[in-house]
Protein backbone atom coordinates (compact mmCIF):
# COMPACT_ATOMS: atom_id res chain seq x y z
CA UNK A 1 0.00 0.00 0.00
CA UNK A 2 1.54 3.25 -1.02
CA UNK A 3 0.58 6.53 0.53
CA UNK A 4 -0.84 8.84 -2.15
CA UNK A 5 1.81 11.47 -1.64
CA UNK A 6 4.83 9.20 -1.24
CA UNK A 7 7.76 8.97 -3.57
CA UNK A 8 10.01 5.90 -3.55
CA UNK A 9 12.80 6.47 -1.05
CA UNK A 10 15.73 4.97 0.78
CA UNK A 11 14.56 2.88 3.71
CA UNK A 12 15.38 4.91 6.74
CA UNK A 13 15.45 8.49 5.48
CA UNK A 14 11.72 9.08 5.10
CA UNK A 15 9.89 9.84 1.93
CA UNK A 16 9.86 12.93 -0.23
CA UNK A 17 6.50 14.67 -0.37
CA UNK A 18 4.95 14.96 -3.81
CA UNK A 19 4.69 18.28 -5.63
CA UNK A 20 0.93 17.98 -5.51
CA UNK A 21 0.77 17.46 -1.78
CA UNK A 22 3.13 20.33 -1.00
CA UNK A 23 1.08 22.62 -3.23
CA UNK A 24 -2.06 21.63 -1.35
CA UNK A 25 -0.39 22.60 1.92
CA UNK A 26 0.57 25.91 0.35
CA UNK A 27 -3.02 26.57 -0.70
CA UNK A 28 -4.14 25.79 2.82
CA UNK A 29 -1.68 28.35 4.15
CA UNK A 30 -2.95 30.97 1.71
CA UNK A 31 -6.53 30.33 2.75
CA UNK A 32 -5.64 30.65 6.41
CA UNK A 33 -3.83 33.89 5.68
CA UNK A 34 -6.95 35.26 4.00
CA UNK A 35 -9.00 34.02 6.94
CA UNK A 36 -6.85 35.74 9.52
CA UNK A 37 -6.92 39.03 7.64
CA UNK A 38 -10.70 38.73 7.35
CA UNK A 39 -11.11 37.91 11.01
CA UNK A 40 -9.17 41.01 11.96
CA UNK A 41 -11.75 43.17 10.19
CA UNK A 42 -14.50 41.97 12.52
CA UNK A 43 -14.57 43.21 16.08
CA UNK A 44 -14.67 40.16 18.31
CA UNK A 45 -13.16 41.94 21.29
CA UNK A 46 -10.95 39.66 23.30
CA UNK A 47 -11.49 36.82 20.82
CA UNK A 48 -9.61 38.70 18.11
CA UNK A 49 -6.31 37.83 19.81
CA UNK A 50 -7.38 34.22 20.30
CA UNK A 51 -8.40 33.94 16.66
CA UNK A 52 -5.25 35.56 15.34
CA UNK A 53 -2.93 33.39 17.43
CA UNK A 54 -5.06 30.32 16.81
CA UNK A 55 -5.00 30.69 13.06
CA UNK A 56 -1.29 31.49 13.16
CA UNK A 57 -0.74 28.31 15.14
CA UNK A 58 -2.65 26.23 12.59
CA UNK A 59 -0.48 27.74 9.87
CA UNK A 60 2.59 27.02 11.98
CA UNK A 61 1.51 23.39 12.33
CA UNK A 62 1.13 23.06 8.57
CA UNK A 63 4.63 24.43 8.07
CA UNK A 64 6.19 22.36 10.85
CA UNK A 65 4.47 19.04 10.16
CA UNK A 66 4.54 19.08 6.38
CA UNK A 67 7.04 21.56 4.99
CA UNK A 68 9.51 20.73 7.77
CA UNK A 69 8.58 17.05 7.54
CA UNK A 70 8.06 16.63 11.28
CA UNK A 71 5.01 14.40 10.82
CA UNK A 72 7.29 11.81 9.29
CA UNK A 73 10.12 12.06 11.78
CA UNK A 74 10.59 9.64 14.64
CA UNK A 75 9.16 10.08 18.11
CA UNK A 76 12.45 11.37 19.44
CA UNK A 77 12.63 14.41 17.17
CA UNK A 78 8.95 15.12 17.78
CA UNK A 79 9.57 14.97 21.52
CA UNK A 80 12.48 17.36 21.22
CA UNK A 81 10.40 19.88 19.26
CA UNK A 82 7.64 19.66 21.84
CA UNK A 83 10.17 20.20 24.62
CA UNK A 84 11.48 23.38 23.03
CA UNK A 85 8.01 24.88 22.68
CA UNK A 86 7.05 23.83 26.20
CA UNK A 87 10.08 25.63 27.60
CA UNK A 88 9.19 28.76 25.65
CA UNK A 89 5.61 28.56 26.88
CA UNK A 90 6.84 28.21 30.47
CA UNK A 91 9.13 31.22 30.12
CA UNK A 92 6.35 33.43 28.81
CA UNK A 93 3.73 31.93 31.10
CA UNK A 94 5.64 32.27 34.33
CA UNK A 95 6.65 35.82 33.39
CA UNK A 96 2.94 36.53 33.23
CA UNK A 97 2.61 35.44 36.84
CA UNK A 98 4.49 38.67 37.47
CA UNK A 99 3.32 40.92 34.65
CA UNK A 100 -0.31 39.91 34.93
CA UNK A 101 -0.58 40.51 38.65
CA UNK A 102 1.08 43.87 39.13
CA UNK A 103 -1.09 46.58 40.58
Partner 1 sequence: MDQPDKADQPDKTGQTGQPGDSGASRPFFGPQGPDGKGSGLASWIFSTDHKRIGLLYLAVIGLMFATALVLGIILRLKLMTPGSTLLTPQQYNAMFTLHGVIMVFMVVIPSIPASFGNIFLPLHIGANDVSFPRLNNFSWWLYVTGMLLAITSIFTGAGAPDTGWTFYVPFSERTTTNVSLAVIAVFILGFSSILTGLNFITTVHRLRTPGMTWRKLPLFVWSLYATGWIQVLATPILGITALLIFAERVLHLGLFDAARGGDPLLYQHLFWIYSHPAVYIMILPAMGVISEIIPVFARKPIFGYNMIAFSSLAIAFAGSLVWAHHMFTSGMSDTAVLVFSFLTFVVAIPSAIKVFNWLSTLYKGSISLDPPLLYALGFILMFSIGGLTGLVLGAAGADIHVHDTYFVVAHFHYVIFGGTGLGMFAAMHYWFPKVFGRMYDHGRAAWAFWLILTGMNVLYFPMFVMGMQGMPRRYYDYLPQYAPLQMVSTWGSWILAVGLTLMFWNLYRGCRFGPVATRNPWGGATLEWTLPTPLPHEAFHADPEAPEPYDFKGINPDG
Partner 2 sequence: MDKSGLMDNTGLMAEHAAATPPGGHPKDYHAAKMGMWLFLFTEILLFGGLFLLYASYRHRFPQAFHAGGQTLDVFLGGLNTVVLITSSLTVALSITALRRGELTRCLWLLSFTIACAGAFMVNKTIEWLAKFHHGLIPGSEHMFGLPEGQSIFYGLYFAMTGLHGIHVIIGASVLGWVMLLIRQGKVTAEDYVVLENAGLYWHIVDLVWIYLFPLFYLIS
Residues that bind partner 1 (CB under 8 A): 76, 83-84, 87, 90-91, 94-95, 97-103
Residue among 102, 101, 14, 103 nearest 66 (CA): 14
Check: CB of residue 33 under 8 Å from CB of residue 56: no
Check: CB of residue 40 under 8 Å from CB of residue 52: yes
> Quick check: 47 binds partner 2 (CB under 8 A)?
no
Tell me whether residue 50 or residue 91 sits nearer to partner 1 (CB atom).
91
| Binding-residue total with partner 2 (CB under 8 A) | 51
CB of 46 to partner 1, least distance (A): 21
Q: Which of 36, 50, 72, 97 binds partner 2 (CB under 8 A)?
A: 36
Q: Which of 1, 4, 42, 76 binds partner 2 (CB under 8 A)?
A: 76
Binding site for partner 2 (CB under 8 A): 7, 9-10, 12-13, 16-19, 22-23, 25-26, 29-30, 33, 36-37, 39-40, 48-49, 52-53, 55-56, 59-60, 63-64, 66-69, 73-77, 80-81, 84-85, 87-88, 91-92, 95-96, 99-100
Amino acid sequence: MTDAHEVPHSEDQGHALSYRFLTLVWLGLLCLTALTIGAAEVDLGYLNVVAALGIASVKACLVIFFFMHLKYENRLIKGMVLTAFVILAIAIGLTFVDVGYRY
